[in-house]
């Protein structure tokens, strides 16, 4: 069974023109479309499959500042406030709550790292509490083992990946925007070097402004416009258990296993960072760009298989706009999970948390996590032709910071002074090389 996902309605007709066309109905695209529509722009959101069906429904749901890279922390903080703001505005429960995130460890070096981050975060106005062994034992009582220490970030939280993007798409419509599922954008029409239209499989929308929020497909799409965007995806395999364990911390991270309460009362289980690298033409194209990240993370990566190559999201092919593209062939990237990782994850979770030992598996799935070479997204209005804004490469952090990213996109499109610094998200930084600047998780 794939990751659970709520259905949302499409608008009846594709508009002939719009102030902005947003390509990609993940959390980033839906939030961008939502804030643009809320500001009175006419917005069309086009999604080749279903809203939220790729990464944005397959993640753990963590919305965190804890351990964030300094380049992303202000957006993470802003996003937490926006999760609350969007829920209130659209009157829907996105499953967001500031339940706090609990990290437990037996590794002094890891605990020291958290302490250093705590000191840095304090300079940014973010509070996080180091836990002594006694405090870790108390907060981690469900694990039935002692810990050397931990950290608790009280203002962080979780939202529900199975509902968030579909409900925010409802918010787009509420503010007058339109939402089009099973509607792949095949390419961009240019006039005098500027965006003039978006060609979709259902017809052309005339517009001067496009937001490309295509997640793992973004680099391939950019290549059609002659834009080089170093991007690569790894396959992460996870599972959920049926409801029944009521005494666990809502969001718990340990080196061996992470456990998150789901909106339906079940739990998502995952091993942080562990993933498969499925080789694709794009993997080879950008191999040199990703060497610093690989050098840092190779221990948790395993070779994968050819399913990524076959899916076509990292193809190097150019396609024509008047016939079906790889995006229509692979409506939803739904890779097979690694049975080895799923079994290992389940065994570790049941060993650590006795409350989970008898609960049946609800679903197993995998998702391609798209990343940039330095682990920081690209949000750039100058990445391509005039009127083309790229917002992708969220590197495993995009769900939590989706609202902040969407607001920033709306600021950049409408010319409003952004509430967060954004120069660090420019595509050009990756052209210069990002050696030595790979983010932590
Ligand atoms: C297993 C896993 C765990 C994770 N855990 C967390 C977490 O706890 N917290 C966190 O913050 N992040 C987490 N992430 C990362 C997070 O899910 C992503 O960073 C985020 O969802 C990316 O959102 P997005 O909108 O950029 O991309 P996506 O959600 O992938 O959406 C992109 C959409 O664009 C569509 N599209 C692409 N090209 C076109 C086109 N040409 N025309 C029309 N539509 C198109 C696709 O169909 C897709 O729906 C996790 C990811 C995974 C896989």
- Ligand 1 site-directed mutation target among 54, 212, 364, most atoms within 8 Å of CB: 54
Instruction: DSSP letter for 377, please.
Output: -
Q: Residue 185 CA: which ligand 1 atom is closest?
A: 42
Quick one: average pLDDT of 373-379? 96
- CA angle at 276 for the pair 220 and 24, rounded to the nearest 5°: 35
d(CA 429, CA 409): 18
pLDDT digits (tens, 9 = 90+) for 192-250: 999 999 999 999 999 999 999 999 999 999 999 999 999 999 999 999 999 999 999 99
Q: Which atom of ligand 1 is nearest to the CA of 396?
A: 15
Asked if residue 435 has pLDDT above 60, the reply is no
pLDDT tens digit sequence for 256-304:
999 999 999 999 999 998 999 999 999 999 999 999 888 888 888 999 9
Alpha helices in 366-434 (DSSP H): 398-414, 428-431
Please report the pLDDT score of residue 297 as a whole number: 82
- Of ligand 1's listed atoms, the one at least distance from the Cα of 183 is 43
pLDDT of residue 35: 98
Quote the ligand 1 centre to 123 CA distance (angstroms): 31
For the chain, percent of residues with pLDDT exceeding 90: 94
What pTM did the predictor assign?
0.97
Q: pLDDT at position 296, please?
A: 84
Using the mean position of ligand 1's atoms as its centre, give its distance from the Cα of residue 157 in Å. 19
Q: What is the pLDDT at residue 95?
A: 97
Residues near ligand 1 with C-beta < 6 Å?
A: 23-29, 46-49, 53-56, 58-62, 184-185, 213-217, 221, 236, 238, 327, 367, 369, 392, 394, 396-400
* Top mutation candidate among 82, 396, 425, 441 for ligand 1, by most atoms within 8 Å of CB: 396
Q: Distance between CA 49 and CA 183 in Å, rounded? A: 7
Range 93-115 average pLDDT:
97
Query: Given a cut of 60, is residue 151 above it in pLDDT?
Result: yes
Cα 40 to ligand 1 centre (Å) = 26
Dihedral of CA atoms 204, 205, 207, 210 in degrees, nearest 10, equals -90
Kindly give the distance from the C-alpha atom of residue 369 to the centroid of ligand 1, in angstroms, as a whole number.
7
Q: Tokens for 433?
A: 């090389």
> Mapping DSSP to helix (H, G, I), strand (E, B) and coil, where does residue 192 land?
coil
- Taking residues 155-171, report their average pLDDT: 98
Q: Which atom of ligand 1 is nearest to the CA of 221?
A: 41
- Determine contact, residues 50/332, Cβ cutoff 8 Å: yes
């Amino acid at each position: 069974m794939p990751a659970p996902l709520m259905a949302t309605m499409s608008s009846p007709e594709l508009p002939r023109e719009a102030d902005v066309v947003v390509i990609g109905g993940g959390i980033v695209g839906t939030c961008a479309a939502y804030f643009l529509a809320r500001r009175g722009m006419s917005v069309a959101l086009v999604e080749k499959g279903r809203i939220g069906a790729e990464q944005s429904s397959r993640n753990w749901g963590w919305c965190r500042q804890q351990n964030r890279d300094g380049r992303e922390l202000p957006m993470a903080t802003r996003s937490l406030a926006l999760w609350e703001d969007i829920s209130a505005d659209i009157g829907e429960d996105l499953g967001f709550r500031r339940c706090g995130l609990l990290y437990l460890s037996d590794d002094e070096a890891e605990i020291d790292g958290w302490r250093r981050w705590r000191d840095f975060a304090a300079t940014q106005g973010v509070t996080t509490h180091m836990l002594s062994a006694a405090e870790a034992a108390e907060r981690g009582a469900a694990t039935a083992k002692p810990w050397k220490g931990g950290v608790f970030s009280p203002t962080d939280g979780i939202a529900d990946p199975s509902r968030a993007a579909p409900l925010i798409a409802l918010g787009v419509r509420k503010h007058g925007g339109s939402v089009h599922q099973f509607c792949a954008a095949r390419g961009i029409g240019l006039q005098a070097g500027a965006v003039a239209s978006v060609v979709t499989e259902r017809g052309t929308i005339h517009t001067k402004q496009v937001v490309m929020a295509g997640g793992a497909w973004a680099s391939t799409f950019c290549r059609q416009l002659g834009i080089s965007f170093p991007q690569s995806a790894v396959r992460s395999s996870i599972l959920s258990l049926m409801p029944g364990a009521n005494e666990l911390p809502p969001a718990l991270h340990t080196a061996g296993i992470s456990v998150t309460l789901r909106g339906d009362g079940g739990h998502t289980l995952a091993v942080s960072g562990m993933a498969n690298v499925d080789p694709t033409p794009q993997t080879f194209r950008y191999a040199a760009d990703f060497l610093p990240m690989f050098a840092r993370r190779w221990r948790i990566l395993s070779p994968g298989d050819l399913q990524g190559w076959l899916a076509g999201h990292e193809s190097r092919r150019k396609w024509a706009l008047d016939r079906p593209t790889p995006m229509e062939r692979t409506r939803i990237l739904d890779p097979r999970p690694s049975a080895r990782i799923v079994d290992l994850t389940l065994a570790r979770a049941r060993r650590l948390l006795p409350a989970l030992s008898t609960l049946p598996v609800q679903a197993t799935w995998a998702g391609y996590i798209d990343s940039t070479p330095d682990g920081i997204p690209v949000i750039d209005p100058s990445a391509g032709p005039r009127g083309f804004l790229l917002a992708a490469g969220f590197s495993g952090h995009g769900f939590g910071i989706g609202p902040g990213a969407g607001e920033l996109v709306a600021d950049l499109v409408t010319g409003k002074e952004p509430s967060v610094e954004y120069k660090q998200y420019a595509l050009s930084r990756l052209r210069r090389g990002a050696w030595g600047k790979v983010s932590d998780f």
